[in-house]
Amino acid sequence: MADGFAPAFAFTPEVDAATASVWSKVKTRISPLEWRAHAPLIEAINRLKREKNAVVLAHNYMTPEIFHGVGDYVGDSLGLAREAARSDARVIVQAGVHFMAETSKVLAPDKTVLIPDLRAGCSLASSITGADVRLIKQRYPGVPVVTYVNTTAEVKAETDICCTSANAVQVVEAAAAAWGTDRVILIPDEFLARNVARQTDVKIIAWRGRCEVHERFTAEDILELKAAYPEAQVLAHPECPTEVIAVSDFTGSTAAMSDFVATRRPKQVVLITECSMADNVAGDAPETEFVRPCNLCPHMKRITLQNIYDCLLNDRYEVRVDPAMAERARLAVQRMIDLPPPARPARYDLVKARHHVDVELI
Ligand code: SF4
């Protein structure tokens, strides 16, 4: 079929039957009218995946019809990249943003990695370049560079070791010990760096990158929420400002938030992160009430069922990473993977913080 000429999709009894289990998970978040448009695309994408030996890796911030409807693996960016490496599929479709597709390509170099919309970027990843990191290393010789996974392959290639929001404290301490230094460069998220600095004796040198979704939350937002919903548990992502973390009940990665809801089953919860996160966790926690607010990530929202279908149908857009760069980036990610799992997930809990020291901002 020629590029751009997709068939018309109808909500037939066959489509209804094939997608009934997905509908049961999303029906509290999607109207019946919207579902009649989504279900035929979900059925068509799942058929195309089988025909092309493809899998869809869906980030926690994808909309529920993508997350529950076509995601073969769902989770945070690193979890998805590890699945990319483990999968037997020939084609990986990254339902997420561009740096995530690059990380999948870095960890699965022999597979074809596609992204449905090349414009799906990230304010954090675009805040820093490989050239910036080279300059930082010149300014701080001998100080190890720890880079958050939310970065381009070019930046990871200049890095000593990667970290996620779940293991950043552990990685910073391991890097300081391995390099025999009391300072570590932790880039590019300023707020993640500030939150980590309060949990460790290691001095942190930070960059001024920010996630445009999480930086917009304020402590006042949280205090107003707590006054309005005194029973609600407030869970915040560590890319939020430190003042937000200080007044939240729990702070952790998207995976840690999902785990919190799955294991503690709170009656009411507020997820201080991207809006689709609550929609997706709600599909598996029907007895928990999810209270807004949340913020939308415009980059994540570029990914739709329609462009996932088009991407699979037309084998576009392929994400490539220069092999030599990928090799260096893979080493930084592998060093993190090789660390023993942390004794407990990082919580960034300022009430129990060991320090109130700040970071050195570059
Ligand atoms: S939520 Fe923030 S870190 Fe994630 S893709 Fe959007 S801008 Fe980037």
122-156 pLDDT, tens digit per residue, is 999 999 999 999 999 999 999 999 999 999 999 99
Asked whether residue 97 falls in the same domain as residue 58, the answer is yes
Report whether 60 contacts 276 (CB < 8 A). Answer: yes
The one-letter code for the residue type at 10 is A
- Best of 117, 150, 192, 272 for a ligand 1 pocket test (most atoms within 8 Å of beta carbon): 150
Query: Is the pTM of the predicted complex or chain greater than 0.85?
Result: yes
Say how far apart CA 74 and CA 35 lie, in whole Å: 21
Task: Assign 7 a pLDDT band (cuts: 50, 70, 90).
Answer: low
pLDDT of 102 > 90? The answer is yes
Residue 150 lies in a domain: yes
Range list of H helices, the chain: 13-18, 20-26, 32-52, 64-67, 77-86, 98-107, 130-139, 153-157, 168-179, 190-197, 219-228, 242-247, 254-264, 275-282, 305-314, 323-338
CB distance 76 to ligand 1 below 6 Å: no
Which structure tokens are listed for 348? 């960034």
Mean pLDDT, residues 172-191: 97
Asked whether residue 191 falls in the same domain as residue 332, the answer is yes
Task: Assign 273 a pLDDT band (cuts: 50, 70, 90).
Answer: very high
Nearest CA to ligand 1 atom 5: 122
Asked whether residue 105 falls in the same domain as residue 163, the answer is no
Asked whether residue 21 falls in the same domain as residue 96, the answer is yes
123 alpha carbon to ligand 1 midpoint, in Å?
6
Asked whether residue 208 falls in the same domain as residue 224, the answer is no
**Pick the residue with more confidence: 180 or 76?**
180
239 alpha carbon to ligand 1 midpoint, in Å?
9
Residue 7 lies in a domain: no
Nearest CA to ligand 1 atom 2: 211
> How many residues can be counted in the chain?
362
Residue 53 lies in a domain: yes
pLDDT of 1 > 50? The answer is no
Kindly report the CATH number assigned to the domain that includes residue 19: 3.40.50.10800
Tell me the pLDDT of the chain averaged across its residues: 92
State the sign of the Cα–Cα–Cα–Cα dihedral 29, 150, 218, 247.
positive
Nearest CA to ligand 1 atom 3: 211
Which structure tokens are listed for 62? 């994808």
14 alpha carbon to ligand 1 midpoint, in Å?
37
Asked whether residue 188 falls in the same domain as residue 226, the answer is no
Asked whether residue 327 falls in the same domain as residue 207, the answer is yes
Q: What percent of the chain has pLDDT over 70?
A: 93
Domain span including residue 203: 125-213+323-361
Q: Give the angle 273-277-243 at the CA atoms, nearest 5°.
A: 15
172 alpha carbon to ligand 1 midpoint, in Å?
22
329 alpha carbon to ligand 1 midpoint, in Å?
20
pLDDT tens track for 299-337: 999 999 999 999 999 999 999 999 999 999 999 999 998
Report whether 113 contacts 135 (CB < 8 A). Answer: no
Any idea what DSSP says for residue 89? -
- Best of 300, 301, 302, 303 for a ligand 1 pocket test (most atoms within 8 Å of beta carbon): 300
Listed residue (225, 275, 213, 242) closest to 355, CA to CA: 242
353 alpha carbon to ligand 1 midpoint, in Å?
26
254 alpha carbon to ligand 1 midpoint, in Å?
12
CB distance 303 to ligand 1 below 6 Å: no
Residue 8 lies in a domain: no
pLDDT of 6 > 80? The answer is no
Asked whether residue 205 falls in the same domain as residue 133, the answer is yes
Asked whether residue 130 falls in the same domain as residue 274, the answer is no
Report whether 267 contacts 289 (CB < 8 A). Answer: yes
Asked whether residue 157 falls in the same domain as residue 241, the answer is no
Residue 1 lies in a domain: no
Which structure tokens are listed for 45? 């994408």
**Pick the residue with more confidence: 340 or 229?**
229
Residue 98 lies in a domain: yes
**Pick the residue with more confidence: 35 or 349?**
35
Asked whether residue 101 falls in the same domain as residue 182, the answer is no
Q: Which residues pair with 205 in a beta bridge?
A: 185, 360
Residue 237 lies in a domain: yes
CA atoms within 13 Å, Cβ hemisphere of 84: 31
Asked whether residue 36 falls in the same domain as residue 104, the answer is yes
H or E element, residue 351: none
Torsion of CA 233, 238, 241, 244, to 10 degrees: 10
Report whether 160 contacts 184 (CB < 8 A). Answer: no
Number of structural domains, the chain? 3
